[in-house]
Amino acid sequence: MKLIQESSKTKIVNNVIVAILAIYGISQKNFNLDEPTLFTQVVTEVLSPVQEGLANSKKSVSSLWENYLLIVNTSKENSVLKKQISRLESDLTNMDEVRKENLRLKQLLSFSDGLSPQRVLAQVVGWDSANEFKVIRLNKGTNHGIKVMSPVITDQGLVGYVYRATPNYSDVLTILDQNNRVDVVVERTRTHGIVEGVMNFKCSLKYVMRNEPVEVGDKLITAGVGGIYPKGVKVGMITDIRKENFGMTLSIEVVPSVDFDKLEEVLVLLPVEEPATTASVSVQPTVEAKP
């Protein structure tokens, strides 16, 4: 009886301690920015290569599957020939993938020409494992120059910003996330509003007054205020406008211009380095001149 009481007391004490730790953690949590702990950094660096390998193996697996289907249908008479054909087709598929990837990367690089001279090309290796957060993991981190709050784009438009970064990986809070708010303007009318993530890979445009002449089909671009996103990046298109019986603002549905279903590579725009101070500029050549 005494043992049971002691066990029960221990359980209550443990519950209280862990609950206090959890409440403290919640109070310290920031859903807009995160500084990873040393533990998080180490474990992320250890586990993310597995994620990266699995994400990369997707193409090989689909190519293998296609080859398997081809080989199953070959007759015995021309099996050697068919295998050669399947091998060639596999090569062609791979070449086609490389060509498409090359095209995508070229588009990405040419698209960002006018935005920032410093940019990092990164591959998406994973998504957040929780339902309520729309975050993607990239295979580049602080070792590649990525900093938190760096904007992330594709040739289609805005993806989000870097939420947290470890030496070789970084997490991006996408515009689909409810905690990410993007200051935008309607391209045609120059009306300001805030885009927030909602469900089903869609966003909503908030704080647009009822008398604003916005229409379905209007395109949204970043306003360039707030200090995170550069001005003029495509964000999405208005697909539905509802005037409620109450309130001063419109209820507007937005479809992002980026196809998040097919998101594979992104560009991280790095902040332009401030010009070095006079002292450091003058010291640099002296150091290099020494043998």
Partner 1 sequence: MKPRFSQMIISFAITLALLVGFEIITATILPALGWKEYRLTFNVLIILFLAIRLESPFVPWMILGLQIVHSIFSVEGYALGTLAGIIVMISANYLKELLHLTTAFMTMLIVQFFQVIWFVTVSVVICLKVSDFSKFGMIVWSFIPGSILLSIFAPLLFWLLGNIWRVSSDSGHRGVEI
In the complex, the residues that contact partner 1 under the rule CB under 8 A are 7, 10-11, 14-15, 17-19, 21-26, 28-29, 31, 34, 39-40, 43-44, 47, 50-51, 54-55, 58, 125-133, 135, 137, 163-164, 171, 173, 178-179, 198-201, 260-261
Residue among 261 and 273 whose Cβ is closer to partner 1: 261
Least separation in angstroms between CB 34 and partner 1: 6
Alpha-carbon torsion, ordered 209, 210, 216, 217, to 10 deg? -30
Between 218 and 253, CB nearer to partner 1: 253
Nearer residue to partner 1 within complex by CB, 37 or 211: 37
Neighbours of 51 (CB within 10 A): 16
> Is the separation of the CB atoms in 89 and 97 below 8 Å?
no
Which of residues 50 and 283 has its CB atom nearest to partner 1 in the complex? Answer: 50
Helix 79-111 vs helix 38-72: angle between axes, to the nearest 10 degrees? 140
Closer residue to partner 1 in complex, CB, 173/268: 173
Shortest approach of partner 1 to residue 219 CB, angstroms? 24
Compute the least distance from the CB of residue 280 to partner 1, in Å: 36
The least distance separating partner 1 from the CB of residue 18, rounded to whole angstroms, comes to 4
Minimum CB separation of residue 35 from partner 1 in Å reads 12
Q: Which of 244, 158, 170, 227 is nearest to 197 (CA)?
A: 158
Nearer to partner 1, 173 or 228 (CB): 173
Could you tell me the two tokens for 223?
């306003």
**Residue 71 beta carbon to partner 1: minimum distance, rounded to whole angstroms:** 23
Identity of the residue, 119 or 164, whose beta carbon is nearer to partner 1 in the bound complex? 164
In terms of Cα–Cα distance, which of 172, 64, 163 is closest to 125? 172
For 151, list phi and psi in degrees, rounded to 5: -70, 150
What is the closest distance, in whole angstroms, from the C-beta atom of residue 199 to partner 1 in the complex? Answer: 6
Record the tokens describing residue 202, joined without a space: 């869609």
Residue 39 CB, shortest distance to partner 1, in Å, is 7
Q: Which is nearer to partner 1, 31 or 207 (CB)?
A: 31
